């Protein structure tokens, strides 16, 4: 997907972050672990070239109540700009809320709870950029699974995949349950550099994900991939081998945590013994359940690999045995057996 080139060159920008969608606030908590860059570096102005950033996120705010909500109200009135609108949490369908509401943030002009969807209606078109944080906000996530009573959906389901912000940008989706800390902060950094007029448009795929983060599978970066190739599978979780037979969906899931790790390069589900349950994917969770069974595609591909994998393992064991010995010319005997040929020395050729 192409995004419109923008070079606004803002000196200051607000980030209005609502986590009032159906969520556990886990994405807000997750980004506190980011290091590339950290949220502190962004807010405290430690990164050259960025606009001054004012973050309004209830988990990280000092203010509560009306003082916390004031920037949101001002933005809704059109009195605060520019701002990036970050949405965390699944969007409930307020058309089917009976006589109440599913999710609200603060009160409206009548003193009634103001539904999240009204905030989105008012803020998203005024925002310079709109970012969905985590799988709940991007695609609906757990709250949107079959049988749910709220009719939950992702932000692009609500606003439309063709939505464009005031800055002319599509929604930027950063999925993950929760979002991987550096994936989110790196994406935000790109948006902030765009706001400063210092970066090209952010490249997004057709599900509005940053292409450089979600273009490869878990399997392609997994520490255990060599075991898979050799047809060597774990039978339980107390094993360093490939986890596909105990439920890992890594071969068909777009996620980079096996490459990137989770915190400061450490972790990344299968790398540290957790099966991939596809939490970044638009089809999560329904298309990956039941979680602990061997995935259907995994069973076929692991059956094929089982035919040649043991042969590869045996051949590699032979090569490994040879490579584990030093060459025979390394010795302490009084003769040189390295194959050295004096004809090629400078003195003999002159
Ligand atoms: S553990 Fe999962 S991601 Fe890793 S090699 Fe096995 S199937 Fe692939
Ligand atoms: S490896 Fe799988 S379960 Fe882990 S974060 Fe990525 S998509 Fe989610």
Q: What is the DSSP string of 3-42?
A: --------SEEEEEEE--SBS-SHHHHHHTT--TT-HHHH
CA distance 70 to 149: 32
**In a 3-state reduction of DSSP, which class is residue 125?**
helix
In the chain, the N- to C-terminal Cα span, in Å, equals 65
pLDDT averaged per 10 residues in sequence order, the chain, 350 residues: 65 97 96 96 96 96 95 98 98 95 95 96 98 98 96 97 97 98 98 96 97 96 94 92 94 96 94 95 93 74 80 84 88 92 66
Tokens found for residue 193? 């550099």
Q: What is the pLDDT of residue 4?
A: 54
Rg from Cα positions in the chain: 26
Nearest CA to ligand 1 atom 6: 242
Specify the residue with its C-alpha closest to ligand 2, atom 6. 255
Residue 148 φ/ψ, nearest 5 degrees: -75, 150
Please tell me what DSSP assigns to residue 270.
G
Ligand 2, atom nearest to 255 Cα: 6
- Which ligand has the nearest atom to the CA of 223? 1
Torsion of CA 294, 300, 301, 302, to 10 degrees: 60
Write down the pLDDT at residue 208.
98
Whether the CB of 278 sits within 6 Å of ligand 1: no
- Could you give the CA distance from residue 42 to residue 151 in angstroms, rounded to a whole number? 36
Around Cβ 231, how many Cβ atoms within 10 Å?
20
Looking at the DSSP bridge assignments, the partners of residue 128 are: none
Task: Say how far residue 282 (Cα) sits from the centre of its chain.
Answer: 12
Q: Residue 5: its pLDDT value, please?
A: 47
* 83 pocket-lining for ligand 1 (C-beta < 6 Å): no
Q: Which atom of ligand 1 is nearest to the CA of 258?
A: 3
pLDDT at 186: 98
Q: Is 233 in the pocket of ligand 1 (CB under 6 A)?
A: no
The confidence score (pLDDT) of residue 311 equals 84
Angle subtended at Cα 109 by Cα 108 and Cα 111, rounded to the nearest 5 degrees: 65
Question: Is this structure's pTM higher than 0.85?
Answer: yes
Ligand 1: does its nearest atom lie under 6 Å from the Cβ of 114? no
User: Which numbered ligand comes closest to the C-alpha of 305?
Assistant: 1
Alpha-carbon torsion 8, 84, 132, 161, what sign? Answer: negative
Which atom in ligand 1 lies closest to the alpha carbon of residue 228?
5
Which two structure tokens, joined as six digits, stand for 158? Answer: 């609500």
Any idea what the Cα angle at residue 31 is, between residues 1 and 205, rounded to 5°?
10
* Bridge partners, 204 (sequence order): 210
C-alpha 90 to ligand 1 mean position (Å): 29
């Amino acid at each position: 997907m192409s995004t419109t080139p923008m070079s606004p060159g803002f000196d200051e920008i607000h980030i209005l972050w609502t986590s009032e969608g159906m969520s556990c606030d886990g994405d807000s908590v997750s980004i506190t672990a980011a290091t590339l860059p950290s949220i502190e570096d962004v807010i405290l102005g430690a990164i050259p070239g960025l606009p001054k950033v004012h973050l309004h996120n209830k988990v990280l705010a000092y203010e509560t109540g009306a003082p916390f909500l004031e920037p949101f109200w001002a933005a809704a009135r059109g009195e605060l700009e520019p701002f990036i609108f970050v949405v965390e949490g699944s969007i409930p369908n307020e058309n089917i809320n009976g006589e109440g509401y599913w999710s609200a943030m603060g009160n409206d002009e009548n003193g009634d709870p103001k539904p999240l969807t009204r905030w989105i209606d008012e803020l998203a078109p005024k925002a310079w950029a709109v970012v969905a944080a985590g799988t709940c906000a991007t695609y609906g996530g757990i709250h949107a699974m079959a049988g749910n009573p709220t009719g939950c959906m992702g932000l692009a389901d609500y606003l439309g995949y063709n939505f464009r912000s005031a800055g002319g940008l599509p929604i930027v989706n950063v999925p993950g349950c929760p979002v991987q800390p550096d994936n989110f902060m790196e994406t935000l950094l790109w948006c902030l550099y765009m706001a400063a007029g210092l970066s090209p448009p952010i490249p997004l795929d057709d599900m509005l994900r940053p292409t450089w983060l979600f273009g490869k599978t878990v399997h392609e970066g997994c520490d255990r991939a060599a075991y898979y190739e050799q047809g060597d599978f774990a039978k339980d979780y107390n094993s360093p081998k490939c986890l596909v037979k105990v439920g890992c969906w890594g071969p068909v899931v777009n996620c980079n945590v096996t490459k990137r790790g989770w915190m400061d390069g450490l972790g990344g589900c299968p790398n540290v013994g957790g099966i991939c349950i596809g939490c970044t994917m638009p089809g999560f969770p329904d298309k990956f359940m039941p979680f602990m069974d061997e995935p259907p595609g995994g069973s076929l591909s692991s059956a094929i690999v089982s035919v040649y994998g043991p042969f590869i393992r045996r051949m590699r064991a032979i090569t490994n045995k040879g490579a584990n010995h030093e060459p025979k010319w390394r010795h302490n005997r009084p003769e040189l057996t390295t194959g050295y040929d004096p004809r090629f020395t400078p003195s003999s050729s002159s």
